[in-house]
């Protein structure tokens, strides 16, 4: 039996491995990756590397072992994830894993926006498979905003169509700490956790925090959904993905990402990272 992290070289997966290595011997951790070369740093730390590609079901046959506790990090390719996830679930069931912890989205079956569609479908597939599971319903990552500060600082504005809706975002490191706790702890099977930050904030408040820390005037500009879509496409995003982001803003405006139930802090064993700290980290890294 070991602890397995899929997508282990991705933004979330590698943070989970870091968390695990703080308390679990490297020999007890396996990383499932598509590209072995990208996992060289993990191999050097003693983590077992297993090749597995969500798009190639045959490669997943050796990704899991009987009794493994698996963090199943959802795929990032919107529109392709149901087929990809079906392959992962089938491989996990065939191997006889002891736990499949899936990173879904806040709200689970009640999430009524486009980005949630594939997550809802995946949860249904996991339930139907009978694989022992835990649902980690991740809220929004603060990095979804702070990783793209260039245009905001250049133009002096945050744009969106979220109105005064609030976002209970947290850092990826917060979600990673919660995932690691579920993988190493007991009593989590059959449980769904609604994971979100301790404090919800609006995009106007985000802009105000940027202003405070940069000493510049940065505003929030509310756009119509159509105008926001035009801005995103003009910035180079594929239209299909831009439409999903516009729809997420609509969901934010309806309060769908505002919940602050406290599951994240309880699992991580510490408060979620404040917005001010995430902004400071992002500005220092520029």
In whole angstroms, what is the distance from residue 88 CA to residue 82 CA?
10
In whole angstroms, what is the distance from residue 234 CA to residue 104 CA?
29
Strand 201-202 relative to strand 166-167: parallel, antiparallel, unpaired? Answer: antiparallel
Q: Phi and psi dihedrals of 218, rounded to 5?
A: -125, 130
pLDDT tens digit string along 153-189?
Answer: 999 999 999 999 999 999 999 999 999 999 999 999 9
User: Contact at 8 Å (CB) between 148 and 231?
Assistant: no
Indicate if the pLDDT at residue 195 is higher than 80: yes
pLDDT tens digit string along 5-58?
Answer: 999 999 999 999 999 999 999 999 999 999 999 999 999 999 999 999 999 999
In whole angstroms, what is the distance from residue 168 CA to residue 258 CA?
5
Taking all residues of the chain, what is their mean pLDDT, rounded to a whole number? 97
Q: How confident is residue 125, by pLDDT bands cut at 50, 70 and 90?
A: very high
Strand 201-202 relative to strand 3-6: parallel, antiparallel, unpaired? Answer: unpaired
pLDDT tens digit string along 79-93?
Answer: 899 999 999 999 999
In whole angstroms, what is the distance from residue 235 CA to residue 116 CA?
24
Indicate if the pLDDT at residue 137 is higher than 80: yes
Indicate if the pLDDT at residue 1 is higher than 80: no
CA 40, chain centre distance (Å): 23
pLDDT of residue 138: 98
Residue length, the chain?
286
Record the tokens describing residue 113, joined without a space: 């926006």
Residue with tokens 């005064």: 164
In whole angstroms, what is the distance from residue 286 CA to residue 283 CA?
5
pLDDT tens digit string along 206-257?
Answer: 999 999 999 999 999 999 999 999 999 999 999 999 999 999 999 999 999 9
pLDDT of residue 83: 96
Question: 1 or 148: which carries more pLDDT confidence?
Answer: 148
User: Contact at 8 Å (CB) between 234 and 226?
Assistant: no
pLDDT of residue 236: 95
Q: How confident is residue 286, by pLDDT bands cut at 50, 70 and 90?
A: confident
User: Contact at 8 Å (CB) between 12 and 73?
Assistant: yes
Q: What percent of the chain has pLDDT over 90?
A: 97
Record the tokens describing residue 77, joined without a space: 């390719």
pLDDT of residue 105: 97
């Amino acid at each position: 039996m070991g602890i397995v992290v899929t997508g282990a070289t991705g933004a979330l997966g590698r943070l989970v491995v870091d968390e695990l290595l703080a308390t679990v011997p490297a020999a007890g951790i396996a990383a499932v990756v598509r590209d072995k070369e990208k996992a060289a740093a993990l191999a050097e730390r003693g983590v077992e590397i297993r090749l597995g590609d969500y798009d190639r079901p045959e490669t997943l046959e050796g990704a899991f072992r009987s009794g493994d506790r698996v963090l199943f990090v959802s795929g990032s390719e919107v529109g392709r994830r149901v087929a990809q996830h079906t392959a992962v679930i089938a491989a996990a069931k065939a191997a006889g894993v002891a736990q499949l912890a899936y990173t879904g989205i806040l709200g689970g079956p009640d999430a009524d926006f486009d980005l949630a569609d594939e997550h809802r479908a995946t949860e249904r597939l996991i339930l139907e498979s009978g694989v022992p599971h835990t649902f980690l319903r991740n809220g929004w990552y603060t990095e979804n905003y702070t990783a793209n500060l260039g245009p905001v600082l250049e133009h002096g504005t945050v744009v969106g169509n979220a109105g005064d809706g609030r976002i209970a975002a947290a850092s990826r490191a917060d979600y990673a700490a919660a995932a690691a706790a579920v993988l190493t702890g007991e009593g989590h099977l059959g449980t769904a956790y609604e994971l979100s930050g301790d404090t919800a904030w609006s995009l106007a408040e985000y802009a105000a925090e940027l202003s405070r820390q940069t000493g510049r005037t940065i505003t929030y500009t509310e756009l119509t959904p159509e105008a926001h879509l035009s801005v995103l496409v003009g910035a180079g995003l594929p239209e299909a993905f831009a439409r999903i982001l516009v729809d997420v803003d609509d969901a934010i405006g309806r309060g769908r990402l505002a919940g602050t139930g406290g599951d994240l802090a309880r699992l991580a064993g510490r408060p979620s990272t404040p917005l001010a700290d995430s902004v400071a980290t992002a500005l220092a890294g520029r």
